Structure 1
Amino acid sequence: MAYALMTSADFNQNPSKAKKAANEGPLVITEHGEASYVLVRYSDFENNWKKSRSLYDALRHKDSRFDDDFTPERVSFEGRDVEF
């Protein structure tokens, strides 16, 4: 999920611009170059953070970054001697 950045000074001067940016995705508000707050739409908050959900539900969520099938590399044990 992409997010936008805004300084706290810009946020204080133009909160309507911040709300417009938060409509597109999370808005990170910075103070002295460090992330301090995140502004999100209430519906996004309810869908993503308010309710607890299982790991399975989180991974299969439509906005999940992990939507590709997992295919691990094949491991070969040739040339590895095991002594007991």
Structure 2
Amino acid sequence: MTATTFSSREFNQDAGRAKKAAKRGPVFITDRGRTSHVLLSIEEYEKITGTGENIVDSLAMPNAAEVEFEPPRISGNIHKPASLP
């Protein structure tokens, strides 16, 4: 993994070169000599954050049919008038 540094001016002038560098490792972008941003490939970002799956994949339950669930039946008057102060 190779870290690369671009000034914000260099980054603005050649974002394509920065994206290519991000494939090899993080790209640090400086503003007035101080690091202000980091550019990562999406693969690196997903590794760091653990977000390789989308929300649908994360919520999917492949064994949902095997889960036993019998909700209780509600009877009687379930609606009440609101009590406002």
Identity of aligned residues (%): 37
TM-score scaled by structure 1? 0.56
TM-score scaled by structure 2? 0.56
1:49-81 CA deviation, whole Å, 9 max, x = no partner?
A: x129xxxxxxxxxxxxxxxxxxxxxxxxxxxxx
| RMSD (CA atoms) | 1.5
Which 5+ residue runs of structure 1 have no aligned equivalent?
Answer: 53-84
Q: Which residue of 1 aligns with 2:30?
A: 30
Higher gyration radius (CA) = 2
Q: Which residue of 1 aligns with 2:11?
A: 11
Displacement over 2 Å in runs of 4+: none
Which 5+ residue runs of structure 2 have no aligned equivalent?
Answer: 52-85
Aligned length: 51
SS in 2 for 1:37: strand
